Amino acid sequence: MEIVLSIFVGIGLAAAVGFRIFIPFLIVSIVAYTGNLELSTYFAWIGSLPALIMFSIAAVVEILAYYIPWLDNFLDTIEHPLAIIAGIVLTGAVIRDFPPLIKWALALIAGGGVAGTIHAATGMIRLKSSAVTGGIGNPVVSTAEAGSATALSLIAIFMPAIAAIIVGGMVVYFSFMIKKKFLSPPSED
């Protein structure tokens, strides 16, 4: 059962990374530093004091940067591959007691896939917000994303089964949203 829960934790954290990259790392760092989360052997550094300081600074800078309307869309573009990598890393960091091949296959497919799907969907939401409001509504989107990253990270760590259900629903919804955007015929306005 513990193995399944660690997979749920990893997938939940990967989903949180889809909203913001550094908030989930900061939360994992805090929880690991306080001894409430055991990380895989090669990822124990995430729970160290230097990492905690680094993730704190990075999270604050990332949050503030997303409140600048033109910069937030630029960050969405460059952070997409980073979100996928971060989803893989966090998933791999929390899945323990698995053969490496299975662990990294899960991290690549589930962690990277979930992070990439959610990040793509939130990028589309931000672009739509920019188009509709001229960027004025983007701080609302940024606040929702930062709050989602925080809440989902905490739920993933402390209530992993609930996080798995939430993530499942989000992935299905966002996948349909992305599919509709790219596979529907262009509208004639």
Arithmetic mean of pLDDT, 5-34: 97
The pTM assigned to this predicted structure is 0.91
For the chain, the domains span 2-167
Structure tokens at 57: 């600074």
Cα 116 to chain center, whole Å? 8
Closest CA to 160 of 7, 8, 10, 41: 8
Closest CA to 116 of 88, 94, 144, 141: 88
Structure confidence at residue 153 (pLDDT): 98
Q: How far, in Å, CA of 149 to CA of 151, rounded? A: 6
On whether the CB atoms of residues 173 and 20 are closer than 8 A, the answer is: no
21-61: per-residue pLDDT in tens? 999 999 999 999 999 999 999 999 999 999 999 999 999 99
119-144: per-residue pLDDT in tens? 999 988 888 888 898 888 889 999 99
